[in-house]
Amino acid sequence: MKNGESWQAAGMSFTPITSAIGAEVEGVDLAEDLSDEQIAALRQALSDHSLLLLRGQSVSPEQHIRFSRRFGDLEKHVLSDFCLPGHPEIFIVSNIVENGRHIGAYGGAKEWHSDLSYMAEPSLGSAFYCLECPSEGGETEFASMFAAYDALDDDRKTWLASQRAVHDYAYHYATFLSHRKPLTEEQKAKIPPIAHPCVRTHPDNGRPALYLSYALVSHFEGMSPEESRPLLKELTEFATQPQFTYKHAWRPGDMVFWDNRSAMHRACPFDDNSRRLMYRTTIEGDRPFFKTAA
């Protein structure tokens, strides 16, 4: 589905993917060192559309890292076992087993989330590059938290504006990732629970976005888990309705760069006998804040 007009900037063409989320970018080769003008145009489109799709790319780990670094410093994931040897900035997402061990994070990300929301300074965005993918299934679905916020009724907006949600990776891991080996105490110590505003203002364009998820938030601050869980579920379901989402069917060579400040995403199931190999860089971001309109 294409909606809205295409536009040109810095020699690239941009075409909206849906009216809520995404723009496909053509006319850029990520293996090259991009100009400041190109980076500025990409940054603006990312902020406004929450997701950029760049097809037909062919990038080495070094080129992937160089491109990502133009947007900020890169994270090194707490699950260091799943980082590319020699390139800790690349987090591998894969079901492939080599020498008896998974080479990347597997069987995760099935629940809606925003990357590293459980950190005090969560990620700005993630650049996810497809090397191998199944012929069907294994898509990634994205939801616009700008569109979700805008569609909330006024009472909910008012309530959420004063509320904070506790994001907790150890809770998430124990509840949703019990098939993996448990986190070590050392890993847990690096990621204590953290409260963030339920609505966050996008630092580049000032738009409010809903910022919570059933899977990563254990509870609302000051509320019991029993009270919080049904509401978190309802809000996550509300926010991920079809009109706010885009499901990306991967092809090798696709780079999808999403904005973790205004989008959530999740992985779709696929036949585990087929191979899926994805490389992710994760750009550092700022502490979420909410600024009420003047």
Nearest approach, Cβ of residue 268 and ligand OGA (Å)? 7
With binding defined as CB under 6 A, does residue 235 bind ligand OGA? no
Question: Burial, 111: exposed, middle or buried (Cβ in 10 Å; 0-12, 13-18, 19+)?
Answer: middle
Nearest approach, Cβ of residue 198 and Mn ion (Å)? 20
Return the bridge partners of 220, or none.
Answer: 165
CB 156 within 8 A of CB 149: no
With binding defined as CB under 6 A, does residue 18 bind ligand OGA? no
**Helices first, then strands: H and E counts in the chain:** 7, 19
State which residue, 50 or 201, has the beta carbon closest to ligand OGA. Answer: 50
With binding defined as CB under 6 A, does residue 265 bind ligand OGA? yes
With binding defined as CB under 6 A, does residue 94 bind ligand OGA? no
Nearest approach, Cβ of residue 113 and Mn ion (Å)? 6
State which residue, 115 or 254, has the beta carbon closest to Mn ion. Answer: 115
Binder to ligand OGA among 41, 109, 160, 255 (CB under 6 A)?
Answer: 109
With binding defined as CB under 6 A, does residue 202 bind ligand OGA? no
With binding defined as CB under 6 A, does residue 260 bind ligand OGA? no
280 touches, from ligand OGA, Mn ion, none (C-beta below 5 to 8 Å by class)? ligand OGA
Residue ranges in 161-190 that form contacts with ligand OGA under rule CB under 6 A? none
Joined together, the tokens standing for residue 44 give 């603006």
Return the bridge partners of 101, or none.
Answer: 98
117 touches, from ligand OGA, Mn ion, none (C-beta below 5 to 8 Å by class)? none
From CA 212, how far away is CA 221, in angstroms rounded?
A: 12
93 touches, from ligand OGA, Mn ion, none (C-beta below 5 to 8 Å by class)? ligand OGA
CB 122 within 8 A of CB 260: yes
With binding defined as CB under 6 A, does residue 267 bind ligand OGA? yes
From CA 239, how far away is CA 149, in angstroms rounded?
A: 8
**Residue with token string 């860089």:** 281
**Residue with token string 């919570």:** 212
Binder to ligand OGA among 196, 200, 202, 280 (CB under 6 A)?
Answer: 280
Distances 184 to 94, 172, 187 between C-alpha atoms, Å:
22, 14, 5
Binder to ligand OGA among 50, 57, 95, 126 (CB under 6 A)?
Answer: 126
Other CB atoms within 10 A of residue 60 CB = 10
Distances 79 to 95, 104, 105 between C-alpha atoms, Å:
15, 9, 8
Considering only the C-alpha atoms of the chain, give the largest distance between any 2 of them, rounded to a whole number of Å. 58
Nearest approach, Cβ of residue 7 and ligand OGA (Å)? 28
Binder to ligand OGA among 47, 140, 213, 236 (CB under 6 A)?
Answer: 140
Residues that bind ligand OGA in the complex, under the rule CB under 6 A: 93, 109, 115, 126, 128, 140, 265, 267, 278, 280
